Amino acid sequence: MTALVATDLDRTLVFSPAATRRLGGGLPSRPVEVVDGVVISELADVVAAGLETLAAQTVLVPTTTRTVGQLQRVALPETRYAVAANGGVVLDGGVADAEWAGRVEETLGAAMPLDEAVALLTAACPGARIREAEGLFCYAVGDPAALADQAFVLADSGWRPERQGRKLYLLPPALDKAPAVAYVAELAGADRVLAAGDSLLDRAMVLAADRGWVPARSPLAAEPLPPSVTVTAAPGHAAAAEIVSALVRATGG
């Protein structure tokens, strides 16, 4: 049997120092993302060891809303596959899979053009920094309280607004991690999928998996979840350690 493990990164496995202070659950950790000398993300030592085991014994697929460049900044065990841009990009050996790119282009062809979405987001979030991601979606970076209010304003835009901390994403409705993970499972010949994630952007992926894990005190943990999904006992790095330990056991380690 071949298992595929799809796991979100930010606030599921890796945490900024600020997120660790807010969530607790701290463990001995190492920096895995440094930009201009500033530590952006940390990974607990025990989690790093568990990921090495998973990479050796299963198909480990980092699955993130980050762009390809942002994903590649994070020092993780080497894996053949990864999913970036909230499912918009599948990487195979570090190269974007052309077949998947064509499917995404076809799927999103009927959606509102990105430039119109950017204009809507810019108008709704004055003063916020507006960013585009892989030519697929856009997001605003700003005050969390203000962005939460604007998420309601954008609810009728035809695109999907999702807020995570200081970011408000605006995504085409069909752009999701779940179908990208299913595609990688097909490529890898996996017969079961295990998944972990913390945000509403991970919901479909976690629910579609044979088994799923969600960190305590996360947005997804507050949602109704089926018995196939386990919420960890603690948040933060402790949650990541619990998730990775459970994944190692579930895949034969």
Q: Do residues 132 and 16 share a domain?
A: no
Which of residues 127, 147, 171 is at a domain's end? 171
Domain range spanning residue 145?
112-171
Last residue of a domain, one of 146, 171, 196: 171
Shared-domain flag, residues 61 and 92:
yes
Asked whether the beta carbons of 157 and 68 are under 8 A apart, the reply is no
Regarding whether 139 and 40 lie in a shared domain, the answer is no
pLDDT (tens digit, 9 = 90+) per residue, 91-150?
A: 999 999 999 999 999 999 888 999 999 999 999 999 999 999 999 999 999 998 888 888
Domain match, 84 and 207 both = yes
Say whether both 198 and 159 belong to one domain: no
Residues 46 and 159 in one domain: no
Q: Which residues, in sequence order, are bridge partners of residue 84?
A: 89
Average pLDDT (191-199) is 98
Whether residues 88 and 120 share a domain: the answer is no
Residue 65, Cβ neighbours under 10 Å: how many?
28
CA distances from 242 to 75, 227, 232 (A): 20, 17, 7
pLDDT at 46: 98
In this structure, the answer to whether residues 151 and 195 fall within a common structural domain is no
Query: What pLDDT is attached to residue 253?
Result: 62
Claim to verify: residue 181 and residue 223 sit in the same structural domain: yes
The stretch 198-207 carries a mean pLDDT of 97
pLDDT-above-90 percentage for the chain: 89
Sheet with 89-92, side-by-side order of all strands: 81-84, 89-92, 95-96
pTM score above 0.75: yes
Number of residues in the chain: 253
| Domain total of the chain | 2
Output the average pLDDT for the chain: 96
From CA 63, how far away is CA 37, in angstroms rounded? 26
pLDDT digits (tens, 9 = 90+) for 15-72: 999 999 999 888 999 999 999 999 999 999 999 999 999 999 999 999 999 999 999 9
Give the amino acid at 23. Answer: L
Q: What confidence score (pLDDT) does residue 185 get? A: 98
Last residue of a domain, one of 124, 154, 171: 171
Please tell me whether residues 163 and 218 are part of one structural domain: no
Structure tokens at 6: 């799809």
Is pLDDT of 226 > 90?
A: yes
- Cα distance between residue 241 and residue 145, in whole Å: 30
Task: Please report the DSSP string for 15-83 in residue order.
Answer: E-HHHHHHH----SEEEEEEETTEEEEEEEHHHHHHHHHHHHHSEEEEB-SS-HHHHHTS-----SEEE
Mark whether 200 and 98 lie in a shared domain. yes
Residues 163 and 244 in one domain: no
In which band, very low, low, confident or very high, does the pLDDT at 155 lie, cut at 50, 70 and 90?
confident
**pLDDT at residue number 223:** 97
